[in-house]
A and B are shown apart, each in its own frame.
Chain A
Amino acid sequence: MRKTYRVLGLLIALAVVVQASAIAFGTFGFINEIDRGAVFTPSSEPPNFGPMLHAINGTLIIPVLSLALLVVSFFAKVRRGVRLALFTFLAVVVQINLGFFSFDTPVIGLLHGANAFVVLGLALTAARAAAREAPAPAAPVVEEAIA
């Protein structure tokens, strides 16, 4: 379970990096096409797979991973594991909402971009917490963490 927790944390972090790469790919794709005279309307297909990847990864894969991290945290003996998983999940929920609000109010995109680092930081912290040696079973601190 500990290992699963750690792998899930790392996968979320990796998925966040993919998000940044995908949206940069998409944005430069649009700019490149526009510079060559293309006109985009709501009916145009995007210039590459970047925006689609960002959408699927962000609304499906990352939420599922962060939900899985939360469930696994209940069983994995990781110090502050539940708390970190819960914060990661909440940060993802906030992130998705910021993303959807940004279509109406683009300036919210500034927060969407910044909050990505919160998700990344929490996921990496969770993965690191699971990497530490399992504390001795008798250690009181473990009991505290469980309670």
Chain B
Amino acid sequence: MAVKHNTRMVVGAVATLLILAPLAVMWLSSLAPAGYSVMGMGRAELGGGSADGLHAGHDDHGWDGPPPGPGDVSVAELTGPAGGEPDVAVQLVARSEQVQLAGTRDESIPAYTLNGSTPGPVIHATQGDLVQVTLANESVPDGVTLHWHGVDVPNAEDGVAGVTQDAVPVGGSHTYRFVVEDAGTYWYHSHQVSHEQVRRGLFGVLVVAPSSGIAADHDVVAALHTYGSAATLNGAGGEHHYVAGPGESVRVRVVNTDNGVLRAWVAGAPFRVVAVDGRDVNAPTPVTDAAVVVAAGGRVDVAFTVPADGPAVLVGVGAAALVVGPVATAAPAGTPPTEVLDLLHYGSPADLGFDPARPDREFDYRIGRRPGFVDGRPGMFWTINGRMYPDVPMFVVSEGDVVRMTIENSRSDNHPMHLHGHHAVVLARNGVRATGSPLWVDSLEVDRGESYEIAFVADNPGIWMDHCHDLEHAVDGLVAHLAYTGVHTPFRIGGAASNEPE
């Protein structure tokens, strides 16, 4: 009996170990130190190109990565113009406070504001302007930064806590200076604890007009944001009416500041998609009865003419809507069209300025999901190329490289993929080549089960985030980086500044 009993105990103990030991190992190996550099995180992928001292032997240097050598450049040195009078100068003060949103039935809600409002002020600039924004943090406890979403700024101005700067603590300030080289619709938002700070309102819109001026009678910003359960445009709920006369031309800049994808649509007039993510569409044709998908973080500019006779034009922006037309005209009844405009086959082809058929580096960005631990936290987490955060890829490029990337999504969820500092052109979806206007994006909606081929020129040295802009997904590890050879960052995730970019 005693033998049997002991055998049972031993078998039980062994079985328990077999189950719990791998879990314990997984848990332990998921723990990240209190502070670390993205230079030492995960694995370097070279995509068929060469490495340098900062990335060769990446895996052997622990959480700090290989030390910088002579000639290597720090992210902090890659600033915009240091001297010169700014053409546009803005002071933004970030606060944590209660706000009452116009047109919502909610009581006042806890929010983060810029200059007392959420969203912050629309910043207007003209192509070629030197923009200077001084951000002061009055009372946001976790610290703040400003990321210029879609503007291909010099790396030091990118506003990513722990990668391009330290989060600005309460009482601190930070100045961003950069030249806006491309006209278009952009937005800015905090990239410190961004999943919470953006949701609670720490963002605003940046409109860069072409030097030739805006070619529409009316230029309207429609930034969608959901506060709690209230869908708002430009921070206000309820009905939105914009007065425009019969026959007048209107450009509506749809900005998706939410975590979820939205559909924009127009009823009452044919419309054209004139720009996507701050890049003009070549030869856009009139569209009727189709919606345009706007990725989270993405922007789509639609243009139309108010009909000379007839009702006003209704612009649907996700769960919100904007009525554009003469005073006292009724909005047309409209339901969102079921048809979706395929931007890969819209407009006419144009020169890309580079040859994506001859890439210097080729990368895969395969997104999956499985149970596991991230920094000791159990859950279902995203994987990139089969591995979980922080064991994520560092895509290494050199300045001047033509880069191709295949983004492949599993069926778990849709992902708005956002590459900082660059615009990429979409070459194909699910193996079907794009035939329309070159589709330049910084925020690409990748639906369940889809794969995209994109290409870009590595022309903006730095360490850049390449992540999912469903910011809840970013917290759950859907974050990789694009790193240039010869560039390193002295900033750290965590550390003294408590940097937490996601």
A complexed with B = yes
List the interface of chain A (C-beta within 8 A of B): 33, 38-45, 47, 59-60, 67, 70-71, 74-75, 96, 100-101, 103-104, 137, 143, 146
Interface status of B258 (Cβ within 8 A of chain A):
yes
Contacting residues, chain A, for B228 (C-beta < 8 A): 44-45
B9 touches A75 (CB 8 A): yes
Given contacts A39-B319, A74-B12, contact A44 B413 (CB under 8 A): no
Interface status of B379 (Cβ within 8 A of chain A):
yes
Q: Bound complex: CA of A70 vs CA of B145, how far in Å? A: 48
Classify chain B: how many residues form its interface, as a range.
Answer: 20 to 34
A41 touches B318 (CB 8 A): yes
Contacting residues, chain B, for A143 (C-beta < 8 A): 4
Residue on A nearest B8 in the bound complex, by CB: A146
Interface status of B380 (Cβ within 8 A of chain A):
yes
Kindly provide the distance from the CB of A13 to the nearest chain B CB, expressed in whole angstroms: 22
A41 touches B412 (CB 8 A): no
A59 touches B380 (CB 8 A): yes
A60 touches B378 (CB 8 A): yes
Q: Could you say which of B117-125, B126-134, B259-267 contacts chain A?
A: B259-267
A146 touches B19 (CB 8 A): no
A103 touches B413 (CB 8 A): yes
20 contacts between A and B (CB under 8 A): A40-B319, A41-B258, A41-B260, A42-B261, A44-B226, A44-B319, A59-B371, A60-B378, A70-B19, A71-B15, A71-B20, A74-B11, A74-B12, A74-B13, A74-B15, A75-B8, A75-B9, A96-B371, A104-B411, A143-B4
Interface status of B212 (Cβ within 8 A of chain A):
no
Kindly provide the distance from the CB of A147 to the nearest chain B CB, expressed in whole angstroms: 9
Kindly provide the distance from the CB of A109 to the nearest chain B CB, expressed in whole angstroms: 15
Kindly provide the distance from the CB of B428 to the nearest chain A CB, expressed in whole angstroms: 23
Kindly provide the distance from the CB of B369 to the nearest chain A CB, expressed in whole angstroms: 8
Residue on B nearest A1 in the bound complex, by CB: B12
A41 is contacted by which of B226, B380, B470 (Cβ under 8 Å)? B226
Residue on B nearest A60 in the bound complex, by CB: B378
Interface status of B16 (Cβ within 8 A of chain A):
yes
Kindly provide the distance from the CB of A146 to the nearest chain B CB, expressed in whole angstroms: 6
A44 touches B379 (CB 8 A): no
Kindly provide the distance from the CB of B412 to the nearest chain A CB, expressed in whole angstroms: 7
The A-contacting residues of B in range 1-51, CB under 8 angstroms, are 1, 4, 8-9, 11-13, 15-16, 19-20
What 1/0 flags go to B298-327 for Cβ under 8 Å of A?
000000000000000000001100000000
B229 touches A42 (CB 8 A): no
Interface status of B419 (Cβ within 8 A of chain A):
no
Q: Bound complex: CA of A20 vs CA of B464, how far in Å? A: 44
Given contacts A39-B319, A71-B16, A71-B20, contact A104 B448 (CB under 8 A): yes
A59 touches B379 (CB 8 A): yes
B380 touches A39 (CB 8 A): no
Q: Bound complex: CA of A132 vs CA of B248, how far in Å? A: 83
Given contacts A39-B319, A67-B19, A146-B8, contact A103 B260 (CB under 8 A): no
Interface status of B480 (Cβ within 8 A of chain A):
no
Contacting residues, chain B, for A103 (C-beta < 8 A): 412-413
Contacting residues, chain A, for B369 (C-beta < 8 A): 100
Q: Bound complex: CA of A59 vs CA of B412, how far in Å? A: 15
A42 touches B412 (CB 8 A): no
Contacting residues, chain A, for B258 (C-beta < 8 A): 41-43
Given contacts A71-B16, A103-B413, contact A39 B4 (CB under 8 A): no
Q: Bound complex: CA of A104 vs CA of B261, how far in Å? A: 16
Residue on A nearest B20 in the bound complex, by CB: A71
Q: Bound complex: CA of A40 vs CA of B260, how far in Å? A: 11
Q: Bound complex: CA of A67 vs CA of B18, how far in Å? A: 12
Q: Bound complex: CA of A129 vs CA of B18, how far in Å? A: 25
The A-contacting residues of B in range 138-181, CB under 8 angstroms, are none
Interface status of B205 (Cβ within 8 A of chain A):
no
Q: Bound complex: CA of A67 vs CA of B24, how far in Å? A: 13
Contacting residues, chain B, for A47 (C-beta < 8 A): 229
Q: Bound complex: CA of A41 vs CA of B225, how far in Å? A: 11
Q: Bound complex: CA of A44 vs CA of B4, how far in Å? A: 59
A44 touches B229 (CB 8 A): yes
